[in-house]
């Protein structure tokens, strides 16, 4: 079996941590049970490009239980948990191509390795495999039934492809499921981002001015959790409605250029480029921390930092200190890559449970509708959201009300009312 990981001897620790995560993933466990019985992926090859974490391990193990011949590479050079990669290879015979800290060339070589698997289904996080196949690996196009995409950023890319008529197989937008973005993006990113910043720096958050760029689902989670830890939170936005929401949620809102000289900790999760830029660095306080929680490492203008300060000093793992000409020091966390996965362990299993149950069911949907779908981006069927939420609540021991016959009648009628 071909694979490329750091060290296979790390496998025993990885297995314990995979099992630890599994305890918090009741919905995915249920899907895995169903897959074991039905074997929906028998005879199919699945190539995953996702963060190689304990949670992803439980997802690929579930796909394997459903009969899939699955391989996995990393969707970010810094997010791989090497013990998990080792366990997948040695305990589950799942080929993994991922090493934490791999350079860009190795990262792309690993993407090519999962494409060489000639997938029927792609499971993407950031759409690197999907776009590489469309641009450079058209040789594997014929086998492909479709793909699933995990993130907001990936879906933006896919919608742009579909709009240009460039998308050549159907893609399921897992992120658009309510049981994904309302929980994973908000509570997952909120907690894991603060976890990453704290693990990287051991800073006290209480009393700090935290500037959160954006007020999408990820950013609002970060703002909420920073506030909960006692920070004074400023939100920046480019959308009037979201900015207004942030104001009414109790945050100060202002342009980044005004927040730049005030902030102690800057966190970006916008999906856009140069959110923290040269003219912001010029006015930031000595000692400011810069962190990114968006998918790509483009939100902090690293090139400008290097031009302004030369090579940084690595003062702690995941903290690079840039000294500007006037002596101010700016600290870039996790090389500007997803701080929650670089310095911490990503979102906790309890939220990935719903996201990855969605991923698994989206793959099954593609298989079940093979040949019937158009080459466009599909949202998840609403029933899937209801099912995932019902099983999750059930696992938490929480019951809800049901409509009475009379209430159903009332909702269905247009004649009743004042
Ligand atoms: N994205 C964010 N957190 C994650 C995790 N724990 N596993 C996989 N992908 C993630």
Cα atoms in the 13 Å half-sphere on the side-chain side of 58: 30
Q: Which residues pair with 330 in a beta bridge?
A: 322
CB of 195 shorter than 6 A to ligand 1: no
Output the CA 346–ligand 1 centroid distance in Å.
Answer: 5
Cα 397 to Cα 26, 164, 330: the distances in Å are: 12, 47, 47
Residue 418 C-alpha to ligand 1 middle, in angstroms?
Answer: 50
Q: State the pLDDT confidence band at 416, using cuts at 50, 70 and 90.
A: confident
pLDDT value at residue 51: 97
Q: What is the pTM of this model?
A: 0.95
Whether ligand 1 lies within 6 angstroms of the CB of 124 is answered as no
The helix-helix angle for 82-92 and 11-22 (nearest 10°) equals 90
Q: Is the CB of 53 under 6 A from ligand 1?
A: yes
> What pLDDT is stored for residue 415 in this prediction?
85
Choose one of 188, 193, 222, 296 to mutate for the ligand 1 pocket test, by most ligand atoms within 8 angstroms of C-beta: 188
Could you give the CA distance from residue 355 to residue 357 in angstroms, rounded to a whole number? 6
**Which tens digits make up the pLDDT trace of 269-283?**
999 999 999 999 999
pLDDT of residue 417: 74
Residues 41, 367: Cα–Cα separation, whole Å = 8
Average pLDDT of the chain is 97
pLDDT-derived band at 50, boundaries 50, 70, 90:
very high
**Mean pLDDT across 58-72:** 98
pLDDT band at 363 (very low <50, low <70, confident <90, very high): very high
**Whether the CB of 346 sits within 6 Å of ligand 1:** yes
Q: Which of 267, 164, 172 is nearest to 220 (CA)?
A: 267
What tens digit of pLDDT does each residue of 206-215 get? 999 999 999 9
Check pLDDT > 80 for residue 349.
Answer: yes
Residue 352 beta carbon below 6 angstroms from any ligand 1 atom: yes
Mutate to test the pocket of ligand 1, among 18, 148, 352 (most ligand atoms within 8 A of CB): 352
Tokens read off for 114: 């999962």
**Interior/surface letters 179-218, b for 16+ CB within 10 angstroms, e for the rest:** bbbbbbbbbbbbbbbbbbbebbbeeebeebbbbbbbbbbb
Domains in the chain, CATH or no CATH each? 8-180+347-395 (3.40.50.1480), 189-342 (3.40.50.720)
CB 154 within 8 A of CB 176: no
Compute the average pLDDT of residues 338-347.
Answer: 97
Per-residue pLDDT tens digits for 104-161: 999 999 999 999 999 999 999 999 999 999 999 999 999 999 999 999 999 999 999 9
Name the residue among 54, 61, 57, 55 with its Cα closest to residue 35.
61
């Amino acid at each position: 079996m071909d694979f490329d990981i750091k060290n296979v001897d790390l496998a025993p620790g990885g297995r314990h941590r995979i099992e630890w995560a599994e305890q918090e993933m009741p919905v995915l466990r249920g899907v895995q049970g169903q897959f074991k019985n039905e074997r929906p992926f028998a005879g199919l090859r699945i190539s995953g490009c996702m963060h190689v974490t304990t949670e992803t391990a439980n997802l690929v193990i579930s796909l394997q239980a459903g009969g899939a011949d699955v391989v996995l590479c990393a969707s970010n050079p810094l997010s791989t948990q090497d013990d998990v990669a080792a366990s997948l290879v040695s305990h589950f015979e799942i080929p993994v191509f991922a090493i934490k800290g791999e350079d860009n060339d190795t990262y792309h070589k690993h993407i090519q390795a999962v494409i060489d698997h000639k997938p029927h289904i792609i499971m993407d996080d950031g759409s690197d495999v999907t776009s590489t196949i469309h641009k450079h690996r058209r040789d594997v196009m014929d086998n492909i039934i479709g793909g699933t995409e995990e993130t907001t950023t990936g879906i933006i890319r896919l919608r742009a492809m579909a709009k240009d008529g460039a998308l050549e197989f159907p893609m399921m937008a897992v992120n658009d499921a309510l049981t994904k973005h309302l929980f994973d993006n908000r509570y997952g990113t909120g907690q894991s981002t603060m976890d990453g910043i704290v693990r990287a720096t051991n800073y006290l958050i209480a009393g700090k001015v935290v500037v959160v760029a954006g007020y999408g689902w990820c950013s609002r989670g970060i703002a909420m959790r920073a506030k909960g830890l006692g920070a004074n939170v400023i939100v920046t936005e480019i959308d009037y409605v979201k900015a207004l929401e942030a104001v009414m949620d109790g945050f100060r809102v202002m342009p980044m250029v005004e927040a730049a000289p005030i902030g102690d900790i800057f966190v970006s999760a916008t999906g856009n480029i140069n959110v923290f830029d040269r003219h912001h660095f010029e006015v930031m306080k000595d000692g400011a921390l810069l962190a990114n929680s968006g998918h790509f490492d483009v939100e902090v203008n690293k090139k400008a930092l290097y031009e302004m300060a030369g090579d940084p000093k690595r003062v702690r793992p995941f903290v690079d200190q840039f000294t500007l000409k006037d002596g101010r020091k700016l600290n870039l966390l996790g090389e500007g890559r997803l701080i929650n996965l670089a310095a911490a362990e990503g979102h906790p299993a309890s939220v990935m449970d719903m996201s990855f149950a969605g991923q698994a069911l989206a793959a099954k949907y593609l298989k079940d509708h093979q040949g019937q779908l158009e080459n466009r981006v599909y949202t998840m069927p609403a029933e899937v959201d209801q099912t995932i939420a019902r099983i999750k609540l059930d696992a938490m021991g929480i019951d809800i009300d049901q409509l009475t016959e009379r209430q159903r009648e009332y909702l269905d009628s247009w004649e009743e009312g004042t």
